[in-house]
Amino acid sequence: MPQKDYYEILGISEKASLEDIKKAYRRLAKKYHPDSNPNNKMAEERFKEISEAYEVLSNPEKRRKYDQLRQMGQKGLAGFEDFEDLFARKKGKEQAFSFEDLGGFGDLGDLFSSFFDLGETTRQRRWSTQRGADLFTEIEIPFDLAISGGKTTMELKKEEICPLCGGTGAKPGSSLSACPECGGRGILSFVQGAFAVSRPCPRCMGRGKIIRIPCTRCGGKGQIPTRKRILITIPAGINDGTQLRLRGQGRPGNGGGPPGDLIVKVNVGKHRFFERRGKDVYCKVPINIAQAILGSKIKIRTIDGRVILKIPPGTQSGTKFRLRGKGIKIDGSKGDQYVEILVEIPKNLSEEQKRLMEQFAKEGDLRY
Ligand SMILES: [Zn+2]
Ligand SMILES: [Zn+2]
């Protein structure tokens, strides 16, 4: 936390020159270095502090920021502690409110560092209306649906705005009162001077109002868990692992904020015959040796019906044929289908077949 006084840690004045800082650091680092203090936890801690102080003070830019913070004085920094206390107290009392609901708020222990970055200070937001979080889910669709595209449904468990209180969390008919912590503003300002930082009020979670009597349906959360069937439109030719974003199907927003999105990762199931690579489709087709040797016409399954493939005489096992335009259509252009021929060698021949095969071998002067 921010109370660390780097000047005090190094035992130097705030007017110390860079040379003084270096000198003080070298002296202390030597004294508390873990090598000179084996198994000494205190020395180790002290060494860490010294290093941290040196890192900030030896860097002119970091030192300038640190000095500014320091000048804002104990008053501002004390505000942080108050805030943390307040937060801890509220959290213990009211389970309904979770830290994540404050959204992107970060760890309070990091306040000092975020301060130091100055990134957070410029971001002043009204937290009372907050966009809902995105939800993530996965579905598996059949190979054919991925190719043709179409609609599918899935069941999703998610939070919905409570229909009884309309999301306010208050019992219908009961009134809300202005939050005493922030005076109804929904935000608290912590530090004066150059760094006026606003944070959402932890008591009312930035709404500016607090509930007197919680809603009986949602217990004051304003949202209830539901199961919902949602319709998903699968674009034709979708690739395995594609993520679809369904706008507004995520978690509901807070305080009237827009809902988040639902991100659906689409896993495409395997096909027993086709294999897909990009726009192209691959398959393996067995033929017998007579077809391979003498040539044949065979029927081949494609993703849109059957076609006839001419097998020329003397086709080797492993030969690939391309069926142009029989692949997957994506963005107006179609891929191809590749057919790999596998010649099946018969294992059990009849006596007559064996005799003919021997005859065949003799005729071709084939050794066996
Ligand atoms: Zn409710
Ligand atoms: Zn408040």
| Domain layout of the chain by residue ranges | 6-71, 131-165+218-269, 275-363
Q: How far is the CA of 2 from the centre of ligand 2 (A)?
A: 24
- Position 347 confidence tier, pLDDT thresholds 50, 70, 90: very high
pLDDT over 90 (residue 34): no
| pTM: predicted TM-score of the whole model, two decimal places | 0.52
Between CA 84 and CA 89 the distance in angstroms is 9
The CATH fold of domain 275-363: HSP40/DNAj peptide-binding domain (2.60.260)
Angle subtended at Cα 207 by Cα 201 and Cα 211, rounded to the nearest 5 degrees: 105
Helices marked H in 99-148 — which ranges? 111-117, 143-148
pLDDT band, very low/low/confident/very high, at 152 (cuts 50, 70, 90) = very high
What residues does the ion ligand 2 have nearby, CB within 5 Å?
179, 181-182, 201, 203-204
What does the pLDDT read at residue 75? 42
* Ligand nearest to the backbone CA of 205: 2
Only one residue has tokens 């395995």, namely 240
What is the chain's mean pLDDT, rounded?
81
* pLDDT (0 to 100) of residue 209: 83
The span from the CA of 89 to the CA of 108, in Å, is: 14
Looking at domain 131-165+218-269, which of 1.10.3720.10, 3.10.180.10, 2.60.260.20, 3.40.50.2000 is its CATH number?
Answer: 2.60.260.20
Place domain 6-71 in its CATH homologous superfamily.
DnaJ domain (1.10.287.110)
Gap between the Cα atoms of 129 and 98, Å rounded: 16
Rounded mean pLDDT, 6-12 = 88
3-state secondary structure of 31: helix
Lowest-confidence region among 49-58, 140-149, 183-192, 227-236: 183-192
C-alpha of residue 177 to centroid of ligand 1, in Å: 17
What distance in Å separates the CA atoms of residue 175 and residue 169, rounded to the nearest whole number? 11
Closest ligand by atom to 182 CA = 2
User: Do 162 and 177 contact (CB within 8 A), yes or no?
Assistant: no
Ligand 1 is an ion; residues with CB less than 5 A from it? 162, 164-165, 215, 217-218
CA 104 to ligand 2 center in whole angstroms: 18
Contact 79, 87 (CB under 8 A): no
Can you list the positions of beta strands (E) in the chain?
135-141, 150-161, 176-178, 187-189, 198-200, 209-211, 223-234, 242-246, 262-268, 275-277, 280-288, 296-302, 305-311, 320-323, 329-330, 333-334, 337-344
